[in-house]
Every structure is written in C-alpha cells, then in structure tokens.
C-alpha cells in the first residue's frame, strides 16, 4: 500500500511576482544589474526595481528588437541586463536579434519572459506562446530555465544574475501554489526531486510541476508510486537525474505547458533514446494554437491538466 503523498503548500502567488522580487534582490546585490522593459513594467512586476534603481532601469517603449540588441550592447562595459516582456515578444518577435547579438555573440543578457503558455488565458493565441522553449533551447550558448513557483522564480532570478552567459527565464501570469521552500538553493542545471517513487517517473517544468504533484497524489490513492522531478532547467539538461530515475521506474511521463514539438518532452526523449530507451508519454499541447478562455479551462481543453498526467502515467505503466 502506498502512503499518501504530502507536499506542504506555503501559499499561492504568480511566478512573475517571484521574478519582480528576485530582480530587486539581484539589483541590491550587484550594482551592474540593469533592467530593460518594453512597456510592460507592471505586468512583469519590475516596478520595485524601477523605483529603487531609477538610473539602472531603461524603458524602451514598444520596441522589443531595439531592446534585445541594446541589452547585448550594454554587456560591453560589464553590465548584466535583464530584459522584460511577454514570452512571445521575448522570443519569436526578436529571434534574430537574440540569435546574432546575444547567443552567437555570447553576451551576458538575461531574457526574462512572462505570460508564457496557455495560462495567459483570455488574451488568446496571439499571446499564448507555446514554442518558446523549443526556439530558445535550439540556440547554442543559451541556458533555458522554467521555474515552477513563486519562490523558485525568485531564486532562479537571483541565480542567473550570478551566472555568466545568455539565459532565457520563462514564467507566467496566474497565481499558483507555492511549494518550494523560501530558503531553497537553486542550482542551474540540477533538477529537484519533489516526490520519490518507483512505478513511474513524471518529469515536469513550470506550472505543470504542481499539476504533476496533484497527479502523483491521486496515483498514490490508486496504489501507484510516482516519482516527480522538477526539471526547471531545460538546457543544460540534468541527464543524470533522468537516467537514475528511469533506471528505477522504467517509464516516463513528461508534462509541460508547451507545444509537444521541441519542448521538455523531446529533450527527455533524446536522453532516453541515446542511453536507455523506455516508454514515454507526452503531456503537452498537440501541435495546435490556443484560444481565449480562463487558464483552468484552457489547461483542461488542451489536455495538459492533472487528469491528463494521471491518464498518461497509467498508460505508460502498461507499456513497460
């Protein structure tokens, strides 16, 4: 009989607020941290930094291409620029600027992207980027981080200010449960083992980590022991964490608020196929754009909610 899985919930908050607090803290710790925003200061929760460090905050207006290349130029002379806008304007709109001036030129720019995925909600598909992880992980020199809750987003924001190199940091709009301890140490490229289990490994990132915890709790009631890994760093990927868990469970479910093409799931599949091929099920948006709706409605409609993770786990266990 499997025991009940208990995870302490410390509160509920949006991950973008974790970014705002982390940016302020990074700014206090290092005078070279500067921030640029393309007319979304409130949405990105950058006001606290702006108020505290007026001289180090740059409002660029609705001109994201200029913002990205400016950020690259600001590194020449030692600044550590954090750019802030929505995830679609942080990636697809400015991919060439990022590719040439930041990734290829290896500049110490932190691209901070809010309102990622379906949980942006009512704004609809124009703003619901579901391709950004794929685009960013394809760029050489780029580190890609998708933290799971408020505390982790704050910790990740501080951590990337202390890391040399281009980073893409993805977070979101809705208020979600907080379960990472406020004093946890965030290490880039080192996955968090959230729940230990033996029957199936669930590897998730971002908002889907909490959904995976809910799934594991439900599976436990059915006598299934699910291991939950928070893969907050998509690149570089913690391959050792994947392989050691799968060696134990023999199957994997990946869960992400992203397109099935090019996301976390495909990165995990690559690791498995090269090292230890095992059955995998993908909980991800299936090659389609989103639409308007509430975050909860959209997660359900596009099959990336808790019941979908449970279903995938049951299916992948059958394939062992």
Residues that bind another protein (CB under 8 A): 34, 55-56, 58, 60-61, 63, 65-79, 81, 96-97, 99-101, 104-107
Q: With respect to another protein, which residue has the nearer C-beta, 66 or 303?
A: 66
* Strand bridging mode 252-259 / 80-86: unpaired
- Residue 124 Cβ, how far from another protein at the closest point, in Å? 25
- Residue 78 Cβ, how far from another protein at the closest point, in Å? 6
Q: Do residues 132 and 89 lie in contact, with contact meaning Cβ atoms separated by under 8 Å?
A: no
Q: With respect to another protein, which residue has the nearer C-beta, 29 or 319?
A: 29
- Residue 95 Cβ, how far from another protein at the closest point, in Å? 10
Count of CB atoms situated within 10 Å of the CB of 228 = 30
- Residue 104 Cβ, how far from another protein at the closest point, in Å? 5
Q: Which of 78, 227, 232 is nearest to 148 (CA)?
A: 232
Q: Cis (ω within 30 of 0) for the bond into 236?
A: yes
**Residue 188 and residue 6: Cα distance in Å, rounded?**
26
- Residue 29 Cβ, how far from another protein at the closest point, in Å? 17
Q: Is 64 a catalytic residue?
A: yes
Q: With respect to another protein, which residue has the nearer C-beta, 64 or 281?
A: 64
Count of CB atoms situated within 10 Å of the CB of 53 = 17
Question: To 10 degrees, what angle do helices 264-275 and 239-249 make?
Answer: 70
Per the DSSP assignment, residues forming a β-bridge with 114 are: 86
Q: Which of 25, 64, 227, 256 is catalytic?
A: 64
Q: With respect to another protein, which residue has the nearer C-beta, 5 or 102?
A: 102
Q: With respect to another protein, which residue has the nearer C-beta, 71 or 229?
A: 71
Say which residues have a Cβ less than 8 Å from residue 279's Cβ, sequence separation at least 6.
250, 251, 252, 316, 319, 320
Q: Which residues are catalytic?
A: 64
């Amino acid at each position: 009989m499997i025991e009940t899985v208990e995870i302490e919930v410390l509160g509920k908050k949006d991950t973008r607020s974790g970014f705002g607090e982390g940016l302020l803290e990074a700014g206090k710790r290092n005078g070279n941290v500067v921030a640029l925003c393309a007319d979304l200061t409130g949405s990105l929760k950058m006001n606290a930094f702006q108020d505290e460090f007026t001289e180090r905050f740059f409002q660029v207006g609705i001109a994201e291409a200029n913002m990205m290349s400016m950020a690259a130029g600001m590194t020449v002379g030692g600044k550590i620029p954090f750019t802030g806008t929505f995830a679609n304007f942080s990636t697809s709109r400015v991919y060439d600027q990022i590719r040439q001036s930041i990734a290829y030129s290896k500049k110490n720019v932190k691209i901070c992207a809010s309102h990622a995925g379906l949980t942006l909600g009512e704004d609809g598909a124009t703003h619901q980027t579901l391709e950004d992880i794929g685009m960013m992980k394809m760029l050489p020199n780029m580190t890609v981080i998708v933290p799971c809750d408020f505390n982790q987003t704050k910790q990740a924001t501080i951590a990337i200010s202390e890391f040399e190199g281009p980073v893409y940091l993805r977070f979101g709009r809705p208020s979600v449960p907080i379960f990472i301890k406020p004093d946890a140490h965030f290490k880039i490229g080192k996955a968090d083992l959230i729940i230990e289990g033996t029957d199936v490994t669930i590897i998730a990132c971002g908002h889907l980590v909490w959904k995976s915890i809910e799934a594991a709790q439900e599976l436990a009631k059915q006598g299934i022991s699910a291991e939950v890994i928070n893969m907050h760093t998509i690149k570089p990927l913690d391959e050792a964490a994947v392989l050691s868990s799968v060696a134990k469970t023999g199957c994997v479910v990946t869960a992400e608020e992203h397109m099935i093409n090019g996301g976390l799931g495909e990165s995990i599949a690559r690791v498995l196929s090269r090292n230890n091929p095992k059955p995998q099920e993908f909980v991800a948006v299936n090659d389609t754009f989103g639409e308007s709706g509430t975050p909860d409605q959209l997660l359900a409609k596009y099959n990336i909610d808790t019941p979908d993770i449970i279903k995938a786990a049951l299916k992948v266990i059958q394939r062992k």
